[in-house]
Chain A
Amino acid sequence: DAGITQSPRHKVTETGTPVTLRCHQTENHRYMYWYRQDPGHGLRLIHYSYGVKDTDKGEVSDGYSVSRSKTEDFLLTLESATSSQTSVYFCAISESGTGGRYTEAFFGQGTRLTVV
């Protein structure tokens, strides 16, 4: 199994509080992604990183920020959690291949976040 660890695995938080989810990898892969998964929406990209301190927005980035100060860690922060951010969050890693192609993405175990 690819070395990806998400923490925490489960969290319940109150509306308006800040929350930080952590993704840690031991594969030294360049790319890291944060997705959320909700019924009927599949996996939606929140933010991604293509290197240390290099990040960009995905499809559903409003209300989220990220940071990557080391290759192995990618943090997702909900500045002020809302009930609409209740979801399962997945981190994924991948590496670039040749000719503009990408290798497969490996996923962490997921974090179930509930905002009450």
Chain B
Amino acid sequence: QKEVEQNSGPLSVPEGAIASLNCTYSDRGSQSFFWYRQYSGKSPELIMFIYSNGDKEDGRFTAQLNKASQYVSLLIRDSQPSDSATYLCAVSPYNTDKLIFGTGTRLQVFP
């Protein structure tokens, strides 16, 4: 079992819709969770981080964490073509200094 798993996609949504990206992780003691966006040929850039169960909102983005079910999700409201990118979930497993990434989900927002 991979430590962090994501559906590779592509996930295709129309402009203005809500895009929902999901990530599951294997280490129940993980405490730090991150979502990154990566455009083709570029470095990953942070969108959001979340530490506690529940929702965290920042503009059009909402991160949701459910530690009991070991998943973290990212919702993008009012999706724009400029949101088309690969979204990477990252988790820091318990009692390690590692930061482990999933394989990423490619999002396509069409006009």
Size bracket of the B interface: 20 to 34
Is A75 an interface residue when CB atoms closer than 8 A count as contact? no
Is A43 an interface residue when CB atoms closer than 8 A count as contact? yes
Is B20 an interface residue when CB atoms closer than 8 A count as contact? no
CB contact between A102 and one of B8, B99, B102 (< 8 Å): that residue = B99
A6-52 residues with Cβ-Cβ distance < 8 A to B are: 31, 33, 35, 40-45, 48, 50
Which of B45-53, B58-66, B76-84 binds A?
B45-53
CA distance A58 to B101 in the complex (A): 12
Residue of B nearest to A100 (CB): B31
Size of the A side of the interface (Cβ < 8 Å), in residues, is 30
CA distance A58 to B100 in the complex (A): 9
CA distance A92 to B46 in the complex (A): 12
- Is the CB–CB distance between B31 and A110 below 8 Å? no
CA distance A92 to B94 in the complex (A): 20
Chain B residues in 8 Å Cβ range of A109: 43
CA distance A33 to B100 in the complex (A): 10
Which 10 A-B residue pairs are closest in the complex by CB-CB distance?
A42-B103, A43-B101, A107-B43, A104-B46, A50-B97, A102-B32, A101-B32, A42-B104, A102-B92, A101-B31
- A-B contacts, 20 of them at CB < 8 A, read A35-B101, A40-B103, A41-B103, A42-B6, A42-B103, A42-B104, A43-B104, A44-B101, A50-B97, A56-B97, A90-B43, A90-B44, A92-B99, A100-B31, A100-B95, A103-B49, A104-B49, A107-B44, A108-B43, A109-B43
